[in-house]
Structure 1
């Protein structure tokens, strides 16, 4: 009982995330061509360069969209590491930047300043031309995350619980797949392979 009282918030979020993961299970189908789920929401957010950038700035490219916070003590860093491996695979195929872009969007702008995101992205050797770390107003980001199927819940201690997933967006701006950690499909090999497939469409 003491454990439940102490960790009720995290337990609630885990239940919410698990339910979301179950709802996305249909995306795990093995068809040759991924279905169109819906149009991806556009955005204009601050890049680590200090410039504003958005989804439409990379129209015609395949895009991966991930919501995170750099102080995250658990899922964000392993997922960002997987994305760094995706980056490497796309670089090998000469797709990064020219045909594919990764967006890592922070929903904790108070801590994730431009300088913090530069430091964080450098840990993963992110190429800013093909892997963009972005920030913006908390409410704006939270609302945007919802449009990408990501729930973000702020705790009273300044921490966040959130759905850990990556959205795959095609050249035309359609969401074609969610890679969801609770479904076990958030591996760099799978993600990179699906990006490469969409790049050929």
Structure 2
């Protein structure tokens, strides 16, 4: 992919840039072979001899001039990998994009080096929304408090993202009451929803896939199911794009295993159904080389998606036109019961693959 920011020139090293070859059976410098004949661009020119001392001098002068003009120039460079498709660029040399931003601090998590910020529109990159950002330098977080107005730089590669240069532009009001910034309605509603845990049956829901076909989880009873939530215009690489990349990589691992069971299916469910129509989902799915036999992209009434997500602690809501959300990924056994809930964006592909394999093998649910 990519993904997923930093080119060094089509994967070539300086040693690969040119490949010079020496004529067969020669030694020494490429343009000065040690055989008894001069080698000129693939032509072998015999040396001239004459019994007269001056008879061969003009020929020798002509030959030397020819050699100086073309014989000792390097052979035409051959680009590395000519005739072959270019090697994919290593992730470490793909470009990193930078975007200046500003926003309001909502919470600070020092132990995980994260900060939740409601940021303003970032022109050319991301609309206004509330997000958890990774901060690589923990010292940036120490002076921050909820309510601080900050400026910072968003750094994004094809598969990673973080912020740096956090600066408080206006400190939080010391006397602000808790009611100054009440939680969004969706946050309060989630707390009142009945949570589901491993071993609980998955509730019924009717949605529509990217092929404009109706889908219910009950149709997949007897298959191991995994689903996650996303929206197609979410740009930040560690959020929705990471969920889609993880499902794609898990799909590839499961497909690559010899004699592996095939009764499993992945679902990516949009939290922005007003924008993510089946046609939009189909185009988005194609970016991840999806296979509709094992992976579907679903849309449906936002109330139904919200009700499903709340069972697992998913929160998404619009605030001043921005779509804010967290992340949940759920694995359901062939019996239709929840097996595992993966929280956030830091779970690994291997965790999902292992859980699906355990479910396919009929292993009992591992306690959380």
Under a length normalisation based on structure 1, what TM-score does the superposition of the two structures give? Answer: 0.79
Paired with 2:131 and 2:253, the residues of 1 have a C-alpha distance of 35
Task: Provide the secondary structure at the position in 2 that maps to 1:104.
Answer: strand
Larger CA Rg, structure 1 vs 2: 2
The alpha-carbon distance between structure 1 residues 90 and 138, as it changes in their structure 2 partners (threshold 3 A), is same
Q: Distance in 2 between matches of 1:200 and 1:54?
A: 24
What are the Cα deviations for residues 176-199 of structure 1, in whole angstroms up to 9, with x where unaligned? 1111226x3x21111111101110
SS at match of 1:39: coil
Query: Higher relative contact order by CA 8 Å / sep ≥ 6: 1 or 2?
Result: 1
Does the 8 Å CA contact 2:276/2:299 hold for their aligned counterparts?
yes
- Deviation digits for residues 81-112 of structure 1 (CA, Å, limit 9, x no counterpart): 0110011012123657x311101111211210
In structure 1, distance between residues paired with 2:281 and 2:307: 21
Quickly say closer, same or farther: Cα 1:11–1:57, change in 2 above 3 A: closer
TM-score by length of 2: 0.45
* Equivalent position to 2:329, from 166, 169, 175: 166
**2:255 corresponding residue in structure 1:** 91
Report if the CA contact (8 A) 1:41-1:148 is conserved: no
Distance 1:11 1:124 in 2: 24
1:124 match? 288
Q: How do 1:77-88 residues align onto structure 2 when only pairs under 5 Å count?
A: 77-88=241-252
Does the CA contact (< 8 Å) of 2:272 and 2:302 recur in 1?
yes
Unaligned runs of at least 5 residues, structure 1? 17-34
Question: What is the match of residue 342 of structure 2?
Answer: 179
Structure 1 residues 148-163: aligned runs within 5 Å: 148-157=312-321, 159-163=322-326
Structure 1 outlier segments of 4+, above 6 Å = none
State the partner residue of 2:130: 10
Q: Compared with structure 1, are the counterparts of its residues 44 and 10 closer, same or farther at alpha carbon in structure 2 (3 Å cutoff)? A: same
State the 1:142 CA deviation: 1.1
| RMSD across aligned positions (CA) | 2.7
CA distance in 2 between counterparts of 1:81 and 1:11 reads: 19
Gaps of 5+ in 2: 1-101, 106-116, 120-128, 133-145, 147-182, 184-196, 363-368
Structure with more of its chain in helix, by fraction: 1
Question: Does the 8 Å contact 2:228/2:243 carry over to 1?
Answer: no
* SS of structure 2 residue aligned to 1:140: helix
Deviations 1:159-179 (A, max 9, x none): 322221200101111111111
SS of 1:67's partner is strand
Paired residue for 1:115? Answer: 279
**Contact conserved, 2:130 with 2:325, CA < 8 A, in 1?**
no
Distance 1:36 1:65 in 2: 15
> 3-state DSSP class of the match of 1:73?
coil
Q: Aligned-pair distance for 1:10?
A: 2.0
